[in-house]
Amino acid sequence: MRYRFIPGLILCLGPFASCNQSRSTDDAEKLKSVLANYFDGIKNKDFDKMTEATTDDFVLYEMGRVWNNDSVFNNIKKNLPFTVEYEFDNFKISVDKMSGHMNYYNNGTFVFNDTTKQSFSWIESAAFRRNKEGWKMSFLHITERFEAKNKWK
C-alpha cells in the first residue's frame, strides 16, 4: 500500500512542479526585458525609462567608478550627441521568488558627433528585486572584456 502512495503523489504534484519551472523561465525573460529597457533608455536618452527599470537605490559599478541614475544621466548629457547599438549574449540567469541575478556579455558600438566610432565588449552582472511594481534592476556591474591569450603555448 505504501508503494502505491508515492507514484500517486508524484502524479498529483507533477503538474505543480512543471508550472513552477515555467514561472522561473518567464521570470528569466522578464529580467532580460528589464535589462533591455534600461539599455534602450540609454540608447534613446530616455531617463524616465531608465528610472522605471531600476530600484530607488540602484547602483552601477563600471570599471572602478560608482554611479547612480543621476550620475549616469549627467554623464550621458555630457557626451551628447551619440548613438549606440547594444548586442547581448551568453546569458546565465538565476531567479527565485523575490530576487534574480544574471551575467552576460554586452557588445556596444558608439558613434560620437556622427564621426567617431568606438566599439566595446563588456562582461556584465546585474541583480534584480521583485517589488509590488514587478522586477527592477538594483545593481549593475560592468567590466571591459578582454580575450585571454595563452602565452605558454
pLDDT of the residue at 111: 94
pLDDT tens-place values along the chain, 153 residues long? 555 555 554 555 554 444 444 455 678 999 999 999 999 999 999 999 999 999 999 999 999 999 999 999 999 999 889 999 999 999 999 999 999 999 999 999 999 988 889 999 999 999 999 999 999 999 999 999 987 665 555
pLDDT of the residue at 150: 58
pLDDT of the residue at 79: 87
Listed in sequence order, the residues at least 6 apart from 52 whose beta carbon sits closer than 8 Å to its beta carbon are 37
Name the residue among 105, 87, 99 with its Cα closest to residue 147: 105
CA angle 3, 4, 8 (to 5 degrees): 125
